[in-house]
Amino acid sequence: MAKLVLEHLLVGPLQSNCFIIGDEESGEAVIIDPGGDGNLILNSANRRPWKVKAILNTHAHFDHIAANAVVKKGTGAPLMAPRADTPFMGQAHVSARIYGLEVDASPPPDRLLEDGDTIDLGDEKIAVISTPGHTPGGATFVTSIGIFPGDALFAGSIGRTDLPGGDYDTLISSIKTRILSLDDETPVYPGHGPATTVGRERTGNPFLMI
């Protein structure tokens, strides 16, 4: 049975959350949202005897994919991203310039993820659930140690919907029907800010109480 270890890194100029999930039984790992500081991510992964099996993007905004190229080159792992966000991936580095930032362009995904897909990590099967609204293809990764919704849901807040492809009603529906359907005790590891739980957001998130 998979014995998962979670490592959390703050990366890039917007201090995005990057997560490395390693399975101590198989020695395999996945990296979720390498949003910058690619060498820091690689060094963190290399401190353990892990083979990175996949690089996973919850969505295609530049602060979550800026180190895709560096991490892919350094690990040789396939890049996996939601199908509906692929049109944004090639333009993310251009979007960064609006904020006065220069980031590397992302390579195209090796695998396009759809709702209901799974990704093997040792004996663990990471489930992909579609949670659009922040972006058209936003995805949440569900594991036995918690969920990783990217910028769909934060502790006490939700992702912004005023960027291209965003839609407020779609995001609220995604959260209420896909994320809040999970057990209240489920840990939530967002794309920015502290961890929370499904139950805490169900009862205390002001955006979900209207």
Q: How far apart are CA 98 and CA 194, in angstroms?
A: 27
Q: Is the pLDDT of residue 71 over 90?
A: yes
Asked if residue 152 lies in contact with residue 182, where contact means CB atoms within 8 angstroms, the answer is no
Listing DSSP states for 34-59 in one string gives: --S-HHHHHHHHHTTT-EEEEEE-SS
If one compares 64 and 163, the residue with the highest pLDDT of the two is 64
pLDDT in tens, 130-142: 999 999 999 999 9
At residue 88, the pLDDT reads: 86
* Residue 102 pLDDT level (bands cut at 50, 70, 90): confident
Summarize the confidence of residues 52-59 as an average pLDDT.
98
Q: How far apart are CA 44 and CA 61, in angstroms?
A: 23
Summarize the confidence of residues 114-118 as an average pLDDT.
98
Summarize the confidence of residues 13-21 as an average pLDDT.
96
Task: With residue 202 as reference, give the H or E element that holds it.
Answer: helix 198-204
At residue 68, the pLDDT reads: 97
pLDDT in tens, 141-183: 999 999 999 999 999 999 999 988 999 999 999 999 999 999 9
If one compares 161 and 210, the residue with the highest pLDDT of the two is 161
At residue 186, the pLDDT reads: 98
Q: Is the pLDDT of residue 210 over 70?
A: no
> Could you give the percent of the chain with pLDDT greater than 90?
87
Q: How far apart are CA 198 and CA 29, in angstroms?
A: 25
Q: Is the pLDDT of residue 117 over 80?
A: yes
Counting the structural domains of the chain, the total is 1
At residue 22, the pLDDT reads: 97
Give residue 42's domain range.
4-208
Q: What is the CATH number of the domain that holds 17?
A: 3.60.15.10
pLDDT in tens, 178-207: 999 999 999 999 999 999 999 999 999 999
* Residue 8 pLDDT level (bands cut at 50, 70, 90): very high
Cα→Cα distances 68→29, 52, 55, 71, 198, Å:
15, 13, 8, 5, 29
Q: How far apart are CA 151 and CA 59, in angstroms?
A: 8
At residue 103, the pLDDT reads: 85
pTM, two decimal places? 0.96
At residue 146, the pLDDT reads: 98
Asked if residue 15 lies in contact with residue 37, where contact means CB atoms within 8 angstroms, the answer is no
Summarize the confidence of residues 115-131 as an average pLDDT.
97
